[in-house]
Amino acid sequence: MATFDHPGLAGPLSTLHSVVETGVETGRAVVMQEAEALLLLANSLDERFKQAISLILATEGRVIVTGMGKSGHIGRKVSATLAATGTPSFFLHSSEAAHGDLGMVLPGDTLLVLSNSGFTRELRPLIGYARRFAIPIVAIVSRLDSPLAKAASIVLALPRTAEACPARVAPTTSTTMTLALGDALAIAAMEKRGVTKTELAMWHPGGEIGSRLAPIEEIIDLDDVLPLVCLDAPMRDVVFEMTSGGKGVAAVVDDEGALVGVITDGDLRRGFDQVLTARARDIMTPGPITVPRGAPVEEVVALMNACKITVLFVTEADDPTRPIGIAHIHDLTP
C-alpha cells in the first residue's frame, strides 16, 4: 500500500483519503446547517423588520453599528455595507465606547447593536447612554429575555439554532445569520431610498466595481485624435487613419462632421477586391452602433457583447452624430 515519505504525512494513502473525505463531508454539513438557518431567518422576518427599515430611513444622523467579539467583526462589515448603499454609518467598538468613544454617539443617531446572547457586559454602558439621550436601538439578538432585547426599541430576533461547530460553541451559524440580516437591512433601505447606479459609482470609485459603474468617458481617453475619414476618402486614407487610431476602426463623417458610418478591419477584408477603387462610402457600415457620453461601462460592455462587436464610438449625449471618443472592449474589461 502506498505511503508518504514526509514524516508529518506518514501512513497509508487510504488513511489520507479518509481524512480528506471526512473534511469534505464536515464542510458540506456546516454549509447545509447554515443554509437551513438562513432559510429560518428569512421566514421569520415580519413587521419588526419593516419598522427597523423605517427607523433607519428616518435617522437624521448616522446608523452606528456595535458589537463585541465575532459580532463586532460582523458589525464592521454590516456598517461598511450600509455606508456603501446610501445609509451613513460607522462601527463603534463596544468596549472602547465606555472609555470615551460614547462621544461619537449623538442624538439623532440610531444604534444597531449585534449580540447573539444579548448579555454581553460591554454593551451595558452603551445601552445606558442610549437610554439617557433617547437614542433608539435596533437589536439583532437571539435571547428575548436578555438586557439588550429588553432595552431595544426594535428587536430583530435570530432563530435559536445550534452553532455549526462540533462543540456548539464557536460563533458560526449565528454570525452567518447576523451578517445576512445586516445585508438585508442595508439593501432594503437602499431600495427604499431609490439609490441609483450613479450614486453607487460615486461611492465606489475604485476597483472593479468602480470601473463597471463609471461613465464611459472616465475610462477612455477623450484627448486622443479620432480616426475620421470623409465619405469619398480612398482606401489608402482609410487604412492610414485606422492604423493611426490603433483601434481597428475609422469613423466616416459627412461634410458637417456628422457620423454616418464606420469601417472596421472586417469591412476591409470583406471589401478587399475593391481596395484599389473603392471609397469609404462603398464599404462602410452605415448607421453605426454608438453610446452617449455618460453611459456606464457595464452597459457599454453588455451592448458590445449583445451586438458581437469589439469597438464603437462614443458620442455627445445630446448629439448621437458627434463622435468624441472610441471604446474598445479590451479597454473596458479586466
Mention every residue, 6+ apart, whose C-beta is less than 8 A from residue 39: none
CB 88 within 8 A of CB 43: no
**Distance between CA atoms of 171 and 178, rounded to whole angstroms?**
10
Residue 90 buriedness (CB in 10 A; 0-12 / 13-18 / 19+):
middle
**Is the pLDDT assigned to residue 323 strictly greater than 90?**
yes
Residue 248 buriedness (CB in 10 A; 0-12 / 13-18 / 19+):
middle
Residue 136: what pLDDT?
98
**C-alpha to C-alpha distances, 80 to 167, 300, 310, nearest whole angstrom:** 31, 29, 36
Give the HSE-up count for residue 203: Cα atoms under 13 Å, Cβ half-sphere.
Answer: 15
C-alpha grid cell, residue 82: 450600509
> What value does the mean pLDDT of the chain take?
89
Render pLDDT for 18-43 as a digit per residue (tens, 0 to 9). Answer: 555 678 888 999 999 999 999 999 99
**Is the pLDDT assigned to residue 5 strictly greater than 60?**
no
Residue, of 268 and 125, whose pLDDT is higher: 125
Mean pLDDT of 111-130: 95
CB 191 within 8 A of CB 275: no
Among the residue ranges 12-16, 29-33, 85-89, 147-151, the one predicted with the least confidence is 12-16
> In the structure, what pLDDT confidence band is assigned to residue 223 with cuts at 50, 70 and 90?
confident
Render pLDDT for 151-199 as a digit per residue (tens, 0 to 9). Answer: 999 999 999 999 988 888 889 999 999 999 999 999 999 999 998 877 7
Among the residue ranges 43-47, 76-80, 165-169, 289-293, the one predicted with the least confidence is 165-169
Mean pLDDT of 133-154: 97
Mean pLDDT of 305-323: 92
Residue 15: what pLDDT?
53
Residue, of 282 and 13, whose pLDDT is higher: 282
Report the 3 state secondary structure along 88-135. CEEEEEHHHHCCCHHHHCCCCCEEEEECCCCCCHHHHHHHHHHHHCCC
Same fold? 45-195, 216-332: no
Residue 2: what pLDDT?
40
Residue 334: what pLDDT?
66
Question: For the chain, which residues make up each domain, given as ranges?
Answer: 45-195, 216-332
C-alpha grid cell, residue 209: 466595481
Query: Does domain 216-332 correspond to CATH entry 3.10.580.10?
Result: yes
Architecture of domain 45-195: 3-Layer(aba) Sandwich (3.40)
